[in-house]
């Protein structure tokens, strides 16, 4: 971590840092399948309330490198069956100082943002991340996010699972899934 | 690649779930403030920046020229500014700013992502009428683990065609009340 804090110190106190070149590290290369135009679907599952219907959305978006390839930006619009839409921008990068990928999400309709580290699970060939959340009544929730690609890189899938404080430790029901295909 | 022991590495913000269970089907702000208050940002800007070295008297200030392009994104709920900062050696750093109105904190918020630095910076901006400026605070740590605070002031000219920003920092080791001016820039609207 010291290297990161050195950068922090350098940036704030010592002055600017200029990138040597557009980044094309092997680490970022593993995210290259993200780049392109996508269409797909999402399903919001209701594992704790069987009386609620699953909600589905269609999805359209595109992903491209920005900031000299340091980030891949994905712009996504999701549409419910009733026509209502939500829009997301996500930014994925490799943080060389922390030696992990990071995922940043901002979206219309909510003021906050989500930032969490991602790790590559080589055994299962997918990216995995955890972040904290809370229920509407303030109970802490842990969220596990998984995503990966088909072997040809033309399909992208993501799943989310969560665990609410107080539940049995191994209870991590799936709450969301997304699949999309490159156009 | 490293293992999955990642929970301890969470450094950021997380209060709701990801692509999934968002209540985020668009709802319009009901309070008076909104991102539209920052509409003056929209457009093209050019300017200069100056790095000051208040703790190193032997070091001369460093200058950059700046080009900025700002536009609404996310269905007009954010303003995104792409910026390029070029120094005297013709080296350029680029970073992106996202402005929004944070309804939870009832303040404007700015988020920075960079091509030259792996960390995100985000802080709230509040308009201080007495200073006629938007004021923000953030924290950082130095190489030895000491902490510092940064104060940022964004000030807009009356005709809204010139934006001045100044950054001041206070290290843990500084005397109380010592806020060194470390960086400033001015952007001018391009017709």
| % of chain A at pLDDT higher than 90 | 64
Q: What is the pLDDT of residues A101-136, one digit of tens each?
A: 999 999 876 666 788 999 989 899 999 999 998 888
User: What pLDDT does residue A107 have?
Assistant: 86
User: What pLDDT does residue B116 have?
Assistant: 77
User: What pLDDT does residue A25 have?
Assistant: 56
Is the pLDDT at A9 greater than 60? The verdict is: no
Cα-Cα end-to-end distance for chain A? 40
How far A111 CA sits from the closest chain B CA (Å)?
5
Residue of B nearest to A174 (CA): B20
User: What pLDDT does residue B112 have?
Assistant: 93
Cβ of A18 within 8 Å of Cβ of B87? The answer is yes
- Name the band, by pLDDT with cuts 50, 70 and 90, for residue A1: very low
Q: A 30-69 residues with CB below 8 A of B?
A: 42, 44, 66-68
Tell me which residue in B7, B75, B118 faces A93 most closely, judged by beta carbons: B118
Is the pLDDT at A154 greater than 90? The verdict is: yes
Is the pLDDT at A73 greater than 80? The verdict is: yes
Position B78 in a domain: yes
Domain A22-182 top-level CATH class: mainly beta
Residue of A nearest to B60 (CA): A15
Exposed/middle/buried for residue A85 (C-beta within 10 Å: 0-12, 13-18, 19+): middle
Position B3 in a domain: no
Is the pLDDT at A100 greater than 80? The verdict is: yes
Position B19 in a domain: no
Segment A72-89 mean pLDDT: 94
Which residues of chain A does B92 touch, with a Cβ-Cβ cutoff of 8 Å? 18
Tell me which residue in B15, B115, B117 faces A134 most closely, judged by beta carbons: B15
B119 inside 8 A of chain A by CB:
yes
Position B12 in a domain: no
| % of chain A at pLDDT higher than 70 | 84
CATH number, domain with residue B159:
2.40.128.20
Quote the domain boundaries for residue B113.
Answer: 34-190
Position B23 in a domain: no
B50 inside 8 A of chain A by CB:
no
User: What pLDDT does residue B8 have?
Assistant: 29
Q: What is the pLDDT of residues B4-23, one digit of tens each?
A: 333 322 222 232 334 553 43
- Torsion angle (degrees, nearest 10) of CA A57, A60, A66, A69: 90
User: What pLDDT does residue A115 have?
Assistant: 86
Position B133 in a domain: yes
How far B115 CA sits from the closest chain A CA (Å)?
5
CA angle A103, B104, A84 (to 5 degrees): 70
User: What pLDDT does residue A3 have?
Assistant: 44
Position B60 in a domain: yes
Residue labelled with tokens 């709450």: A175
Q: What is the pLDDT of residues A10-25, one digit of tens each?
A: 455 556 666 554 344 5
Q: Indicate the helix (H) or strand (E) that contains A146.
A: strand A140-149
Which residues of chain A does B23 touch, with a Cβ-Cβ cutoff of 8 Å? 109-110
Report yes or no: A42 and A78 within 8 Å, Cβ to Cβ.
yes
Residue of A nearest to B84 (CA): A67
Tell me which residue in B15, B145, B171 faces A112 most closely, judged by beta carbons: B15
Tell me which residue in A110, A119, A176 faces B16 most closely, judged by beta carbons: A110
In A5-136, where do the E strands start and end? 36-44, 55-66, 71-80, 85-95, 100-107, 114-121, 126-134
Q: From CA B161, how far away is CA B155, in angstroms rounded?
A: 11
Residues in chain B with pLDDT < 50? 1-18, 21-29
Position B48 in a domain: yes
Q: How many domains would you assign to chain B?
A: 1
């Amino acid at each position: 971590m010291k290297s990161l804090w050195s950068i922090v110190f350098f940036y704030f106190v010592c002055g600017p840092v200029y990138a040597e070149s557009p980044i094309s590290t092997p680490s970022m290369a593993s995210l290259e399948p993200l780049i392109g135009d996508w269409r797909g679907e999402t399903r919001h599952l209701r594992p704790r309330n069987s009386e609620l219907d699953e909600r589905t959305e269609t999805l359209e978006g595109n992903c491209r490198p920005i900031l000299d390839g340091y980030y891949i930006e994905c712009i996504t619009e999701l549409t419910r069956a009733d026509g209502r839409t939500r829009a997301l921008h996500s930014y994925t990068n490799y943080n060389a100082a922390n030696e992990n990928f990071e995922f940043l999400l901002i979206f219309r309709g909510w003021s906050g943002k989500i930032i969490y580290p991602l790790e590559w699970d080589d055994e299962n060939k997918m990216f995995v991340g955890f972040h904290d959340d809370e229920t509407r009544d303030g109970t802490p929730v842990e969220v596990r996010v998984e995503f990966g690609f088909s072997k040809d890189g033309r399909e992208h899938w993501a799943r989310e699972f969560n665990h609410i404080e107080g539940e049995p430790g191994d209870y991590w029901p799936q709450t969301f899934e997304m699949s999309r295909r490159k156009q | 690649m490293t293992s999955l022991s990642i929970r301890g590495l969470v450094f950021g913000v997380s209060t709701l779930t990801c692509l999934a269970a968002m209540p985020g089907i668009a709802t319009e702000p009901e309070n008076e403030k909104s991102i539209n208050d920052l509409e003056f940002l929209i457009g093209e800007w050019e300017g200069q920046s100056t790095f000051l070295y208040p703790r190193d008297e032997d070091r001369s200030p460093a200058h950059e020229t700046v080009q900025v392009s700002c536009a609404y994104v996310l269905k007009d709920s954010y303003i995104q500014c792409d910026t390029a900062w070029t120094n005297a050696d013709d080296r350029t750093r680029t970073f992106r700013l996202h402005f929004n109105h944070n309804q939870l904190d009832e303040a404007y918020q700015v988020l920075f992502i960079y091509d030259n630095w792996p960390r995100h910076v985000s802080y709230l901006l509040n308009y201080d009428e007495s200073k006629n400026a938007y004021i923000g605070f953030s924290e950082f740590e130095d190489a030895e683990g000491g902490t510092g605070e940064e104060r940022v002031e964004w000030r807009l000219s009356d005709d809204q065609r010139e934006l001045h920003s100044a950054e001041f920092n206070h290290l843990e080791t500084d005397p109380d009340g010592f806020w060194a001016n470390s960086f400033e820039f001015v952007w001018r609207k391009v017709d």
